[in-house]
Chain A
Amino acid sequence: MIELLATLAFTVPLIGGLVLFKLDGRKADAVMLSSFTLAMLLQLAVSLLYHAPVHVAYLETERFGEVYGIIIDPMSVLIGTVVAVAGFIFMFYGVEYMSERNVGHPVKGGKGLFYAWMTLFEGATLGFIYSSTFLGLLVFFELMGLACWGVVSYYGTPAGQRAGFKAFIIPNVGAMIGFYTAIYIGITQLHDLSLFSLSKVSPEVKPWLFLALLIAGYTKSAQFPTYSWIPDAMEAPTPASAFLHGAAMVEMGVYLVARVIQFIGPLPVWVFYFMAIMVSLTLLIPILNYPVQKDAKRLLAYSTVAEAGIMFVALTYAVLGSEIGLKAAMFQLTTHAFVKGLAFLTAGTFTYSLGTLDLRRISGLREVLPINGLAWTVALLGLAGLPPMVIAFSKAEILLNVSLVGISALAWLPILMLLADSAVFLWVGLKWITRNVFGRPVVERAQTHPIITASLLILIVLSLVSAYLAYPLVEEITYGVVP
């Protein structure tokens, strides 16, 4: 039963997405919302029914072993639920955002195309999460890339087209390095494409295979040195940005590496050194860029680079054998999805209500748009890691890994970079909160809509409670999966 529900959770939006290419207007709204709602309900049913890991091989051959299949375990159930719930909220908001009432980006027609890409995106992401083979992962990885190109270049501006192209190409480069290597080794050495076969890879090849898959993860998650596609991808409509940054594209790179670490077994310590240095370099980029960003979405994009980096900090420790690192990475992924979603949707309301994303031109939200002001405050303080917002809890869990300094002094470096990132973001975030929320209003009135307000309120609540809801599943995440 649970395997059927999980399969439907990603096939329903995939089918819905294909149908939406031919629709527009209210019909498109209805089909898109139905797809997202159904996917969310199915996913919630999976999380409620889940009690033990399940592995289903859908296609097996003699030469390639398991070709397609799914794994339902705490990690996939947790992240699948996050994607489905966040995706639904973002697109519920998207119904109003993609309307003529949007001051900055009024949409008169053609939103069916956007919905189609977004719904496909959701299906591909859920499919990726449940896949148990490298071929399955590759197929959904490419579908995600395609959908990403579709949504980023949706407005058709030169900047949007360039950004869409970049968002498609760079993760593809990673996919070619990682997945083709894995599939090649799976076919030639193991005769099995399943993730379970990872532990059978010879010790000499294992770290190199891991590195190849790590590069795939890095490109998807906009890590150094391939980070710039994500700040450029803010050309996408805001609900897509929220999904890209908060729940899907960027997070799936982290999820991929976490999955590999879960199955691959012990790795040599130099892999830890490599990851520690790379993640520290990644974190340096947003730290240097935060103080001089004026565009709300671009500021948040740099924060995404950092937050994904922070998830990789946890995975860096997981490579050293810290199970709490693996748990913390998924915990951070969960909490970040809602807080970053809130931040993006609030930034979207600046476009919707005020027609600008220039933070210097947004002032006095406290009086003009109080709920939006509250959301902006909660989101920025939450991203800086202050409690009671949920990222504080996941970051605290990552910081527990500092105890590994006994194994290598290099373990200090990622932690110190993480803390520096939090401090600098707090400083910059508070600077903008002071101006945007508490400054003198630049307009007397600004329009909003109940759908927008409701979406923000739901995300504010989730930014405060999602850690408590997710923690039982986070606790169950372990190395290896025994169905």
Chain B
Amino acid sequence: MNLELSLALLFIGSLSALVIGRRAFAIIALSSVPVFMAANGELEGEIIPFLPTTFRVDALSSLFLMVLAVVILAVSLYGLVYPLPRFTVLGTGMAFLSALLFLVTDNIERLTLAYELFVVFTGVMLLGFNPRRAWRYLVVQQVFGIIPLLVATGLAYGAVGDLHHLTFHALHESLTRLPVKGDFLLVLFLLAALVRSGVFPLHSWVTKVYSSVPSPLVPVLIFGEALGFYLLLRVSHFALPAPEWLGYLVAFLGSVSTFSTLYSFREVRLKRKFARHSVMDVGIAYFALGVSIVLQGTFLGTVALLGALLHILYQVIYKGAVYFGLGAIEYYGENPTVCSLRRLLRGHVVALLITLSAFSLAAVPPLSAFMSRWLVYMAPLGTGDVLLWLMAVAVAFSGLFPLASIIQVRRINRLICRGEVEREELPLAIRAVTGGMAFLGFVVSVFPFLLLPWLKASIEELHYPLPESPVALFFAHPSSAIALTFLLGSLFVGLRVGRLPTERVSELLLIFYSIGDLLRSTVELFLDGAKSLYIAYVLPVIKVVPRYEVPVIRDYDDALDYPVRHLDEAMFMPLIRFLSKDRFPERDMTALMLLLVTFLGLIVVAMGVVG
């Protein structure tokens, strides 16, 4: 009942946005109540009468549903006072609806549909602000996310044989009937998860998209990152047997993603800066998920998995609070840069709340990221696995930059932003939402026992050894001390690095920047190479292009005016001309007809003889 009600409210709210604009957020906000209620209890059944969809809300989906309810409420309340175009409100509401469907359905086909819908409606959110970015975002998500998921669904159907019951459980029971190896299916799901979460090497869309949409809507996309994580967790732990290589691969990709935070150092545009941190945070969660796959069944595996879950959910909250704060700057009509922070910093409680969230991101004790990263580091450092150790050290190294980057913002602000700014009032909703999110992030990190029952329940089905209390979890292994040392050490170094001049740090990080540039150039090289090949070899075949003009064509648009060459006509005409001895083009069609009629007659006679 709660699910139906929330879906109905989201649907009605989204559609009504076309008529009443941002006031529709009031209806969308109401849906957070039934979503929250649905998260409190295990449910199973069928929803959406015209598109029967089986659902199963277990402890894992409950955990994500609770965070979704918070995000829906926060974005909607904020949206009530923030000017947004009508179809952006529609896109936001429908993106929430898709996310809800994604989390509750246990049918793989419906999950794929929800994934697609989420992509499309987040694309709609973006379309009004930067159509080119929306275009690229949709293509990337289609190629690396939707297509692999569709193929995976088809293959899973081959094993289960029943679309209506194509559940994760049914797939797990039918693995022997899979038409391909299970590992292939895992790779397809992994691709979809990586691009949804913005994990290396499919992370490049994150900064571009986050900087293009209004800041109050970014939390929707941050929750989308959590959806990718949820997908991989669901598949690797509940549907397909996850081999060790997958764990190492996911951990490696996650640890490489954390290096994104290095790029935030040279960024003065705050939305892009925090987007870089977002890639890092998701990378940390993936790293921990990979570690949990490698160590599955052990207590350290449990620690890693709980760390991953805590980190991915914490980051939705504290990063959401940061972006809501940046939305206040946009509300003034300014771009959120280091200097435009000044207006916000002038006597506003919002400034304090953003700072609290930024310090959460920087893993300052006892705030959110500190608690989750404690678990994330503890698990790999408690093993004798050299690969996991190396990756953990890499993650810890990049983990010093969030604090450095925040200190740098303060330093630059004092250094170059000298103009006097006046204080402006902010609507209550903006202050309340930003404050509420920051406070929530603070509470759940300082009192992790609040979340522990849900966390434990969410992995209970996996039959992992479970901790009795938060103390048993955080001090489960001697490696806990090493993890704390890493965390505090990186804070100390981060503080020092943040005080260094930006150019000096950039010089030190040059090698990492060069690697990033090299990767980007490689991708561009492949794309340009494909375009050159197309222009040189395909274009002269499909269009009538004089040979001497081919070298001057640089782009697809340069080729639009050349007449089309029909391959079928080109194939048959020489033969017809040869047979008919007719060189006059205007009579080609008649000749073609005569020849084919004769040919057909022969076929018909031949078929008759066979008959």
Max chain B Cβ within 10 angstroms of own Cβ: one of A180, A204, A205, A232: A180
**A188 contacts which chain B residues (CB < 8 A)?**
608, 611
Q: Contact partner of B153 among A399, A423, A437, CB < 8 A?
A: A399
Could you say which residues of chain A place their CB within 8 Å of the CB of B147?
Answer: 419, 422-423
Known: A294-B560, A423-B139. A288 touches B151 (CB 8 A): no
Query: Is A423 in contact with B568, judged by CB distance below 8 angstroms?
Result: no
Distance of A415 Cα from B150 Cα, bound (Å)? 10
Cβ–Cβ contact B135 & A430, under 8 A:
yes
- Name which of B59-67, B466-474, B538-546 contacts chain A: B538-546
A288-B542 in contact (CB<8A): yes
CB within 8 Å of B: which of A168-217?
Answer: 169, 173, 176-177, 180-181, 184-185, 188-189, 204-205, 208-209, 212
Interface string of A411-424 (1 = CB under 8 A from B): 00001000100110
- Closest chain-B Cβ to A300's Cβ sits at a distance in Å of 14
How many whole Å from A252's CB to the nearest CB in chain B? 20
Q: List the B residue with the shortest CB-CB distance to A227.
A: B568
From A14-22, A127-135, A343-351, A380-388, the one touching the partner chain is A380-388
Whether the Cβ atoms of A430 and B138 lie closer than 8 Å is yes
Chain B residues whose C-beta falls within 8 Å of the C-beta of A289 in the assembled complex? 542, 564
Q: How many A-B residue pairs have CB under 8 A?
A: 162
Nearest Cβ distance between residue A308 and chain B, in whole angstroms?
15
Say whether, besides A288-B538, A294-B560, A386-B120, A434 and B135 are in contact (CB < 8 Å).
yes
Residues of A within 8 A of B536 (CB): none
Distance, CA A456 to CA B610, complexed state (A): 52
- Report how far A468 CA is from B131 CA in the complex, Å: 30
Q: Nearest residue in B to A465 (C-beta to C-beta)?
A: B50
Asked, given contacts A181-B604, A292-B559, A403-B155, whether A226 binds B568 with beta carbons under 8 Å apart, the answer is yes
Contact A403 B158, beta carbon cutoff 8 Å? yes
Q: Once bound together, how far apart are the Cα atoms of A236 and B74, in whole Å?
A: 53
Q: In the bound complex, what is the Cα–Cα distance between A437 and B132 (angstroms)?
A: 12
Residue interface mask B370-389, A partner, CB < 8 A = 1 = 00000000000000000000
Report B-chain residues with C-beta under 8 Å of the C-beta of A384. 142
Contacting pair B568 A176 (CB below 8 A): no
Asked if B127 is at the interface (CB within 8 A of a chain A CB), the reply is: yes
Contact between chains at A419 and B556 (CB < 8 Å): no
**Per-residue interface assignment for chain A, residues 341 to 368, with 1 indicating a CB less than 8 Å from any chain B CB and 0 otherwise:** 0000000000000000000100000000
Please, which residues of chain A bring their CB within 8 A of the CB of B589?
A: 162, 165-166, 169
- Chain B interface bracket (under 10, 10 to 19, 20 to 34, 35 or more): 35 or more
Residues of chain B within 8 A of A173, CB atoms compared: 593, 596-597, 600
B556 lies within 8 A of A292 (CB)? yes
CA distance A439 to B163 in the complex (A): 42
A184 touches B143 (CB 8 A): no
Q: Is A410 an interface residue (CB 8 A)?
A: no
Interface locus among B111-119, B416-424, B440-448? B111-119
Residue of B nearest to A407 (CB): B179
Our pick among A177, A204, A224, A422 for the contact of B568 (Cβ within 8 Å) is A224
B607 in contact with A403 (CB, 8 Å): no
Interface residues, chain B, CB within 8 Å of chain A? 50-51, 109, 112-113, 116-117, 119-120, 127, 131-132, 134-135, 138-139, 142-143, 147, 150-151, 153-155, 157-159, 163, 179-180, 534, 538-539, 541-543, 556, 559-562, 564, 566-569, 571-572, 589, 592-593, 596-597, 600-601, 603-604, 607-608, 610-611
Residues on A lying within 8 angstroms of B by beta carbon are 162, 165-166, 169, 173, 176-177, 180-181, 184-185, 188-189, 204-205, 208-209, 212, 224-228, 231-232, 285, 288-289, 291-294, 298, 360, 381, 384, 386-388, 392, 395-396, 399-406, 415, 419, 422-423, 426-427, 430-431, 433-434, 437-438, 468
Contacts A176-B601, A292-B542, A437-B131 aside, 18 further interface pairs with beta carbons under 8 A come to: A169-B589, A225-B567, A225-B571, A289-B542, A292-B560, A294-B560, A298-B564, A386-B120, A392-B113, A396-B112, A402-B155, A403-B157, A405-B179, A406-B158, A415-B151, A422-B147, A427-B135, A434-B135
